[in-house]
Amino acid sequence: MPADKRGIDERFFHALLVVVSIAFAWILWPFFAAILWAVVLAILFTRVNDRLTAQFGGRPNLAALTTLVIVLVLVIMPLMLVGSMLVQEAAGVYQRVKSGEIDFGRYARQIFEALPAWTTPLLERFGLTDFAALQERAAQGLGKGTQVVAGQVLVVGQGTLEFVVSFFVMLYILFFLLRDGHALMRRIRRAVPLSQDRQGALLDKFIVVVRATVKGNVVVAILQGALGGLIFWILGIDGVVLWSVVMAILSLLPAVGTALVWGPVAIYFLATGAVVKGVVLMLYGILVIGLVDNVVRPMLVGKDTRMPDYLVLVATLGGIAIFGINGFIIGPVIAALFLASWDLFSDRNDRGQTT
């Protein structure tokens, strides 16, 4: 084939490849979340599946099916149970706030009266002395949050067609990723036009960050939320499940995190004369809840695989803002691949300058 025709053939083929790839991605987009979480769960449970495959004498179907059952029992069913409990408790707390049984305005007034006199002008400047308005805003915010959470869980509970389809698509894809994941990865690496070294570096970074995000953030969040809920239950604070989930979510924020929940409660105890409870909660928050991130996270992830906390925070919040809850994974992964790509580029330039 002449060189000019060969060039036209290559350009046309590349254009066709781009078009059909975009069209294929467009078709898959409605199931983006299902595919994403199937990939994440496959990465997390690949080692379990490999061990089961070896124990079952090299029967991949049986191993993948067993791993799928483990995922359902250990991950999906507990999440649904906690979601149901969260909705019930949030609705109960909202009703008690609305009826006045829980009065955030009164709590704020008690703290205000215990503060030094010099803080009064500062609080007045920010409108924090209008206790009736504070109670109203708290009730409205809690009401909106409850409605959002209840709406999401109601969708799951009613088994809407969209959720059911996405759920079973996720399980279906997860089964085949577990069974054929290694062969699929070899095909992808063979098709990607990058050197083996760069493919390995980017793929390793992708897998490490997915595992780090789930193991390092989710597990730590669960531990901190559970520990916070435990001390709240011991101290007799209402809405244990609700505040445990809130603390688990806020644990994603470096440094402050769960202190945004237990800190004000400890201050309220101290301001209202419950000094023992306030001191116990503050010491527990600092020495137990606060140290989980510094002790448990390195054990689960490893210090060398962590990105800077500020980058994780920004990437996570940005990912959630763009992709919703899925951004919890997507944001850090994009940030990690960004850093890995530029590290490879810098290494190439350094090698070019030394030759």
Work out the average pLDDT over 316-336: 78
What does the pLDDT look like over 101-143, one tens digit per residue?
665 555 566 666 655 555 556 555 655 555 555 555 555 555 5
Q: What number of other Cβ atoms are within 10 A of residue 346's Cβ?
A: 10
Work out the average pLDDT over 6-16: 75
What is the C-alpha to C-alpha distance for residues 167 and 181, in angstroms, rounded to an integer?
A: 20
User: What's the Cα-to-Cα distance from 103 to each of 32, 95, 97, 141, rounded to whole Å?
Assistant: 43, 11, 6, 14
Backbone angles phi, psi at 273, to 5 degrees: 95, -5
For residues 136, 142, 148, 154, the Cα torsion angle rounded to the nearest 10 degrees is -120
CA–CA–CA angle 165, 161, 44 (5° rounding): 35
**Secondary-structure percent of the chain, ordered helix, strand, coil, rounded to 5:** 85, 0, 15
What does the pLDDT look like over 72-108, one tens digit per residue?
888 888 877 777 776 666 666 666 666 666 655 555 6
Q: Which of 136-140, 148-152, 217-221 has the highest mean pLDDT?
A: 217-221
What does the pLDDT look like over 180-209, one tens digit per residue?
888 887 887 777 776 777 777 777 777 777
The pTM (predicted TM-score) of the whole model is 0.68
